[in-house]
Structure 1
């Protein structure tokens, strides 16, 4: 058995935050890094930053100024694929198969706008429909799969700084929580974030830029997730949230997740 280290991070522009991406790679040395919200078309993606550190394998799904996902790896990647779960051409998913037989899916679920009503806010409806399409996909999965990324939903009451205050705030509304729950049940996904940090322990991955002092106010939410197929979950040996990265220079509003698997 060998250990495979996989990092997942909504970077909020890979080119604008190249310095902290380099820092993460140098300090953590993951075998694979999954990025969301890269905000770079494939032809301008800063591949040399990764190649110089041994991440010579990559699968990109980029988009100008918005969205975008990428998988950067020191181990070979095969059988790439992309799902348009939003059904509008946005770059929100890329997946690969690893040589050990695991399918790795990197996803960036839409934020959904500010109003939690699909009739008043089409973006909210698109978010729910995105998750519904993922649910139908999950029902058919037959191979060990790891799905990681920014899900833009904090499902548990303890996944936000104040449950009652956020019940009507997009990312924690009952309909979003219910929809994400249906997705999880469709494949019996194991939420690794809560396997290693059980509820109700504090576990946040995102803090708004609006806070003058993010750490002091600590108004966080757990929006980023790593889910494993039930047959794969026992191979997970550790899962960490790198909260300190929120305090790095020019940070993302999200922080990385680090998973280690025995393969």
Structure 2
């Protein structure tokens, strides 16, 4: 069977319910993973999504902050929801689809403004979060799995608009890139997006601070789709739906898609 998966930091699922429904209507992914839902689970607006065929959901939420959800046209069963670093944040949910694929949806901490854990507690929390992700997948070797989400790190030089200028900016510092590589290595994860699109600048986030975001194009690839080697070769048609960043009252992220033939 073939199915299409998308990941999108929505920056409030209740505020942007209409945008979620628009993406569901226009692009119709079989599985849609959202981050930064900023809603308790019981307040997520399900009625419109269910009317569009998304009858199944697993989620973790909290009022006003964080929050992750997986909406699916296929049955999905919750299999994990880890609170790495014991932050009490809703940053991870995992569900197993009825085709046997496990989907991990992550919202990794952004890490604050200063890339120094001695003066910025949030940066330390981010690095510790990634370390615990590494240890989790090292101890629980994933199979037939997909990992998606806003990982808040742009690892490659061509994942940012200016590599040299951003080397000391949170999301592209060498220590963050190293920590993310450790997570990837622990699960033997394949970066599906870059396997499909190996060359050239590729972004999924553009700051709200830039009113001319499209022409300036000072973006970063913070949103990722990874897969375990046993299914990674089945992935294709990876893409960032950049136009979504230009919708009315948008999230500052654009959704990232991939299709899997299993």
- Report the TM-score when normalising by structure 1: 0.97
**Residue of structure 2 equivalent to 1:211:** 210
Q: Deviations over 1:11-52 (max 9, x none)?
A: 000111111111100001111110000000011110112111
Runs of 4+ deviating beyond 6 Å? none
Instruction: Note the 1:59-208 alignment, pairs <5 A.
Output: 59-139=58-138, 140-199=140-199, 201-208=200-207
Kindly state the Cα deviation for residue 93 of structure 1 after the two structures are TM-superposed.
Answer: 0.5
1:143: how far off?
1.9
User: Unpaired runs of 5+ in structure 1?
Assistant: none
The equivalences for 1:36-55 within 5 A come to 36-55=35-54
Q: Could you tell me whether the CA contact under 8 Å between 1:192 and 1:226 is conserved in 2?
A: yes
C-alpha separation between the residues in 2 aligned to 1:237 and 1:181? 22
Contact 1:86 / 1:127 at 8 angstroms: preserved in 2?
Answer: no
Distance 2:142 2:36 in 1: 28
**Partner residue, 2:240:** 241
Q: How many residues align?
A: 261
Contact 2:193-2:258 within 8 A present in 1 as well: no
Distance (Å, rounded) in 1 between the aligned partners of 2:238 and 2:136: 25
CA gap of 1:229–1:206, structure 2 versus 1, over 3 A, is same
State the 1:65 CA deviation. Answer: 0.3
- Runs (5+) with no aligned partner, structure 2: none
The offset of 1:104, in angstroms, is 0.5
- TM-score when normalising by structure 2: 0.97
Is the CA contact (8 Å cut-off) linking 1:115 and 1:170 kept in structure 2? yes
Q: Distance in 1 between matches of 2:109 and 2:15?
A: 21
Task: Say what the alpha-carbon RMSD is for the aligned residues.
Answer: 0.9
Shift of 1:237: 2.3
* 2:86 aligned counterpart, secondary structure: coil
Q: SS of the counterpart of 2:170?
A: coil
Paired residues of 1:10 and 1:35 also in contact (CA < 8 A): yes
**Where does residue 257 of structure 1 map in the other structure?**
256
* CA shift for structure 1 position 142: 4.1
Q: Give the aligned partner of residue 21 of structure 1.
A: 20
Can you list the C-alpha shifts for 1:233-261, whole angstroms capped at 9, x where unaligned?
A: 01112211101111111110000011110
Query: C-alpha displacement at 1:79, in angstroms?
Result: 3.9
Contact conserved, 2:237 with 2:259, CA < 8 A, in 1?
yes
